[in-house]
A = this chain, B = another copy of it.
Amino acid sequence: MVGREEQRAKAVERLSAHVLATGLSQTSLRQLASAAGVSDRMLLYYFSDKNDVLVTVLGSLSADLAQRLALAFPETQILPVSELAVRLTRELLSDNHRPYIRLGVEIMSAAARKEQPFMLLSEGIRATFIQWIVTRMDAPEGSDREAVAAILLGLIDGLVLIGACVEDDLVERAIETIPALVGR
């Protein structure tokens, strides 16, 4: 016997890697169980149901990304909108972080169709991110900081979508074009 909590934690770890790599479309109970290296029966022993699995795993991934971003962008460093836009976009579209954003887009897209539990998850992701941007952004006087943050977040999500289905360097060129287009 190895202990239920311990096994559960190990499952979350393996499932996080699986979901990050394959997205929300490969998340039947048997697929998840196989990725976790256990039987579907045991997965439902560790978790109360499939929803519980997804919420736990996606929550864990969300925390991971927050921690990674905290490392890359210390809270003390305030940047002008244009520079923050470029650096944040480049960081989140890098191979390191793009899988997270891609997954976030899938979650938000599912939320748009009122599917549970994605509405709750996506609302949390959005709020966290906007707040995160607002605290690190040196926006012009009197501007709607949340709105500017929404534009940035939207741009990043959108570029991930575009980059997902295209072979050439269009997205990279778009990032390079941001400074000429934004602010000043």
A184 to B141, CA, bound (A): 17
Which of A4-12, A44-52, A67-75, A165-173 forms part of the interface with chain B?
Answer: A165-173
What number of copies of this chain does the assembly contain? 2
Give the interface centre of A126, A150, A165, A170 by most chain B CB atoms within 10 Å.
Answer: A165
Contact B115 A166 (CB under 8 A): no
Partner of A177, one of B109, B151, B160, B180: B151
Contact B161 A157 (CB under 8 A): yes
Min Cβ gap A103→B in Å is 10
Contact B170 A146 (CB under 8 A): yes
Partner of A162, one of B113, B115, B153: B153
Let me know if A25 is at the binding interface, CB within 8 A: yes
Let me know if A37 is at the binding interface, CB within 8 A: no
Let me know if A159 is at the binding interface, CB within 8 A: yes
Write out, one digit per residue, whether chain A residues 124-158 have a CB within 8 A of any chain B CB (1) or not (0): 00100010000000001001101110110111111
